[in-house]
Amino acid sequence: MYSGPTYLDRDGYYRFKSNNRLVHREVAYNEIYLPNRQSYKLPFADYIAHHKNQNKKDNRKKNLELLTETEHKRLHQRLRNSQMRRKPIVARILYDVFVK
Ligand SMILES: [Zn+2]
């Protein structure tokens, strides 16, 4: 059962007051993982529930996607790269020097 009052944690994720569980993981477990059990070979704990539109507060089923850690890292790398291409050249150089 996953419902009831929630609060926003320090990382910007909603959690249930009753058990401190992350709402997006509960939704992903009950509405994606369990109903499609045969598509997911790993235990649920091994999956990351990714927010497709990058809004951590949008926990609708259609905004969530279960990915392995490797898939998730790769996806975020791609997202970072495409966001970087839209930034001015100075920002890109600073990123290359200090972040990469
Ligand atoms: Zn993600």
Mean pLDDT by 10 residues, the chain (100 residues): 90 96 97 97 98 96 98 94 84 80
Å from CA of 49 to ligand 1 middle: 7
Q: Who surrounds ion ligand 1 at CB < 5 A? A: 50
Class of the domain covering 6-98: alpha beta
Å from CA of 20 to ligand 1 middle: 20
Å from CA of 71 to ligand 1 middle: 10
Question: What is the DSSP code string of 11-64?
Answer: TS-EEETTT--BHHHHHIIIIIITTTGGG--S-GGGEEEEETTS-TT---GGGE
Å from CA of 65 to ligand 1 middle: 9
Q: Residue 1: its pLDDT value, please? A: 60
Reading the block at residue 93, the tokens are 């150089």
Helix, strand or coil for residue 99?
Answer: coil
Token pair 């790993």 is found at: 42
Query: How far apart are the C-alpha atoms of 69 and 67, rounded to whole Å?
Result: 6
